Amino acid sequence: MQFNSIYVRSLAVVSLFLGLNACNSTSEPEPSQPYDTGVFVLNGGNFFDNNGTISLYNPTTKTISYDVFQKENTRALSGGVAGYTEVDGKGLILVDNSTNGSDAVEIVSARTFKSVATIKDLENPRSVIKASTNKAYVVCWDVLNPDYSYKLGYVAVIDLTTNKITKKIPVQNGAEGIVIVGNEAFIGNTSYSGIKTITVIDISKDEVSGTVASAGAASNLIVDANNKIWCTIGKEIVRINPTSKVVETRLTAGTSTTKSPRNLTLNANKTAIFFEYSFSDSSDGYKQKGDIFSFNISDATISTSTSLIKRAFTGFGFDAKNGIIYGGITPSYKQAGYVIRYQTNGTLIDSVKAEIAPNGFLFK
Amino acid sequence: MSLVVYSVRSRILFSLVGLVLPLFGYAQEIANKQIDEVKVTGFATEHFMAGLKVQKIDSATLARFQFQTLADFLQFQSPIAFKSYGSGQLTSISFRGTSAMHTAVLWNGLNINSPMAGQTDFSTVPVLGFDEMSIQYGSAASCVGTDAVGGSILLSSVPKWKQKGTNFTIGGQYASFDNYNGQAGLRFVKISKSGLQFSGKTLLYGSQFNNHFNATERTDNTGRTYPIEPSETAQKGFIQDLYLKKKNGNTLSLNIWLTDNKLAIQPDVIAFREITQSKAYRVLSAYQFGNTNVKAGFIKDILDYGTGDFLNPSHSETDRYIARAEHEFSIKKKDSFQQTSLRIGGEFVHYVAKVDGYGGGSITESRQDVFALLRQQFTQKLTASLNLRQAFSTRYVAPFTPSFGLEYAVISNEKTQIKLTGNIAKSYRLPTLNERYWKVLGNINIQPESGLNKEVGANWKQVVSANLNASLGVNVYHNLIDNWTYWNPDKGYRVENLQQVLSQGFEITGSIKYLKDRILGGVLATYAYTDASQQKVYDVYAVDIIGKQLIYVPLHTLTGTAYVGKGDWSLNVQGLYNSERFITFDHSGRPFPSYFIVNSTVSGKIHFGKIQSNLIFQVNNLTDTVYPSVRKNAMPGRSFSLGLVFSGNVFNH
């Protein structure tokens, strides 16, 4: 790359002016940017300290850069990190501040992590997803009622060409978790919401087009290789047909009376699902205890006789490109947590110190 | 289980009695040789704090900063660290590296820390609320009781017997950001023909802080940006003090202090609004006859927290019924410096708590204390104190807390005074009601914390010339606190006696004061080095935090005041430096940067006939320093305030 360094430099300057379209205007090799590859670790932070961060882990050099938003923008995220995704060259960070009225979506350039825009007009953002080209959906709780119950939630539609919210689509109370199948978005709920429906949104119209009766609060939504939706409902893991909008299969995660499934995560070809089966142990100081298991999407039952990893995590992810499992550990919300890496068979690889409360990953 | 507890308790009680009895014997023995029994005039606990550092705040300083809260006031008077959630918001204390629950706040001898949280929100206590104040450094549990682990703040109401007739005060203050203060009061002294003296003080005060900062964020010179959190604080209070003194000195007193503090975050948007309203009703009656003092008190603390319309807030109410009796034997040998004071007493506190967070119903609990405090002045140069205290509860065994202090004057002449001090003291903190009863997370078996504080000091006062005085003092301490409670996140935030904290450090205080005719000038500065860290490994990840400076405790603190004055006018400049503060146990992430703030005050008196007006002009945060609150919001920048207080004599007889 040395020989065309002048070209590289000039492109970098031009790309600043042309923004995201610059990369489409030429077939010449692009300069690599610091955030092109790696594992983003989403650190929730301690709620009242408003100190959520994103770290970037480089699995090749096994080094980690902390608080990359601060590093690139000389200002910190002003709240906890509730989610991150990338849409057409932009990264959307959901920021949850402990004061009502101060939440935000920070939009950064996905390749440089430089701030592009800040959107403030939303409350308690919980999940973000790419809806279509230059369009993102952010699922929000809105502010809680004075008795901490959930108001009607909404999906904020963000136009990434203007970096503005174009619409808020009202959805069910405690809305959280979103997947997209075809032209429809399916919005789940927090398990505490008591809501027994999944809302369906027509992406082309940005309107609610229907619901799925889910028999309980549907959480941890994912989409498998056959375009079927999987989620957890209470102690069950269920499969939903997004076309007929009915629950097709209900699998009991295990026989335990105390444990519940959570953190559903797909393998590389989306044919198997990892999940955590855990509980808060009242006989041992209410520590969260459990195991990671996996099952195949074609399995008729789920076996929890042999665990993959004997541990519960605050965050769980699978690096499909390299076939590595990532688990987040939070010793307390006032000290840095750790990310522990495992092979797909559950063999421990190594661990790295992250930041406060690592609870999510994005692999690129 | 309870059998075991009781047998341990009775053993401790027995040993305490065993320790106290010889003291009586000792006093009796001395008494036999003595001629005079000394009459005790005040019942100040400071008398028995030999070897401890006690800083008295003079009344002129209190008057100058009468419109401030204790949170704003104290941080410039002493190297105490405060943890603030924002302007007019929860502000808790960290004295010598300890937590907010380790400073006893006493009002006329009663601990007014909230029994729920075990601490005081210093943003809700106005400087106007009391007449005298002392800051006591280090553990003084044997004198003060629970919570006096890192230090104590002693606030008292004092009658002004020398005042003639009735005085009124009325005043107000306007400050930047649409913030207001106001007060109106009367103070009187009446002497009947039979020699009965009657004195009292009535004061009403209130404030409204609208905090209209007209900005949404503040950025420091390194580019760090902090959002400004919209908030409003309304405060009102009422004080009634009454004293009736007989010719023989026996005094009956009644002190009432009612406070109401309402904080609204995001006040302008109802859906976003978060309101915390705290009210306290404090009533204390005391009768001192001869060398005996009996007190009966009642304190009601009400806390309401809610969001949105605030129609159905989470409600907490705790009542405290307090009874205390003390008697002091004080004997002085004729023509000698030898003097012995022995005070014995007991306190009974009954709590009734109705707290939503405890799951409904009311919870009652009683705690008792017995204590024996002995002060012996041996010679002009040597004084010692030996104090003993034992607290009791039906639920747990509180540590027995003795303390021993010494003061020795190496040099004591008209020009030079050099004094060496030393103190070793056990301390304790009884569990708060939240720690014991909070639904699911509380732990009914939580044990009291216990500490051992050792300290030595040296103090040098020098008369340099007829107009110039100087002083220099050093105090070094080592305070180890065990069974430190921790709301353990690994266990879903259930509270445990998990940690052990060592706080060690020193304070250096120097002063120079010049006074000639009507000209006054001087400097007073304190530097503190505070090294406080967790010592105990309780899980695999605790290794990351062992030995590291505790969060929000600056290693270096410097506070100073410089003043010049002529006649009724003075200029006062106060400075405060805090080194960087870590916000995580393991020092990961970016600490809060160090900061330096300067306040200045011009105050003076103008006389309009018989009416005197006190003018106070203040510029706070003169350098417009940007520094964050605990929640990473910006603290206020430069602000101006102008206060005027009129006072005069009415109904003069």
Say yes or no: A124 contacts chain B, CB-CB below 8 A: no
First to last CA, chain A: 22
Instruction: Give the pLDDT band (50/70/90) at residue B652.
Output: low
pLDDT value for A184: 97
Task: Give the Cα-Cα-Cα angle A239, A240, A243 (nearest 5 degrees).
Answer: 145
Which helix (H) or strand (E) segment holds residue A221: the answer is strand A219-223
Where do the domains of chain B lie, and which CATH numbers do they carry?
2-651 (2.40.170.20)
Residues in chain A: 364
* A173 CA: distance to closest CA in chain B (Å): 16
- Among residues B333, B442, B421, the alpha carbon closest in space to that of B377 is found at B333
Q: What is the mean pLDDT of residues A37-45?
A: 96
A150 pLDDT more than 50:
yes
Task: Report the greatest alpha carbon distance in chain A.
Answer: 66
Query: Distances in Å between the alpha carbon of B196 and those of A75, A103, B42, B389, B639?
Result: 68, 65, 19, 37, 48
Give B339-382 as a DSSP string: EEEEEEEEEEEEEEEEEGGGTSS-EEEEEEEEEEEEEEE-SSSE
pLDDT value for A11: 33
Q: What is the mean pLDDT of residues A300-326?
A: 94
Taking a C-beta distance cutoff of 8 angstroms, is the pair B124, B44 a contact?
no
Convert the pLDDT of each residue in B160-219 to its tens digit. 888 888 999 999 999 999 999 999 999 999 999 888 999 999 999 999 999 999 899 999
Q: What is the mean pLDDT of residues B47-64?
A: 90
pLDDT value for B37: 63
Which strands make up the sheet holding A63-65, listed edge to edge? A63-65, A53-58, A39-43, A358-363
- Cβ B269–A100 below 8 Å, yes or no? yes
Q: What is the mean pLDDT of residues A286-309?
A: 92
Determine the Cα–Cα distance for residues A54 and A47; give it in Å rounded to an integer: 15
- Cβ B266–A99 below 8 Å, yes or no? yes
Residues of B in contact with A152 (CB under 8 A): none
Determine the Cα–Cα distance for residues B191 and B161; give it in Å rounded to an integer: 10
The residues, ordered by sequence, that sit 6+ positions from A346 with a Cβ below 8 Å of its Cβ are A292, A307, A308, A309, A325
Phi, psi for B393 (deg, rounded to 5): -150, 160
Residues of A in contact with B226 (CB under 8 A): 78
pLDDT value for B41: 61
B11 pLDDT more than 80:
no
Residues of A in contact with B84 (CB under 8 A): none
Mean pLDDT value across chain A: 89
Phi, psi for B487 (deg, rounded to 5): -80, 100
Nearest Cα residue in chain A from B272:
A100
**Interface mutation vs chain B, best among A278, A335, A352, most B CBs within 10 Å:** A335
Task: Report the greatest alpha carbon distance in chain B.
Answer: 76
The pairing of strands B103-107 and B151-156 is: parallel
Q: Which residues of B166-186 are buried (b: 16+ CB within 10 A; e: fewer)?
A: bbbbbbbbebbbebbbbbbbb
Convert the pLDDT of each residue in B312-352 to its tens digit. 888 999 999 999 999 999 888 888 889 999 999 999 999 99
Q: Which pTM was predicted?
A: 0.86
- Range with the poorest average pLDDT among A184-198, B6-20, B162-176, B195-209: B6-20
Q: What is the mean pLDDT of residues B484-500?
A: 83
Residues of B in contact with A314 (CB under 8 A): none
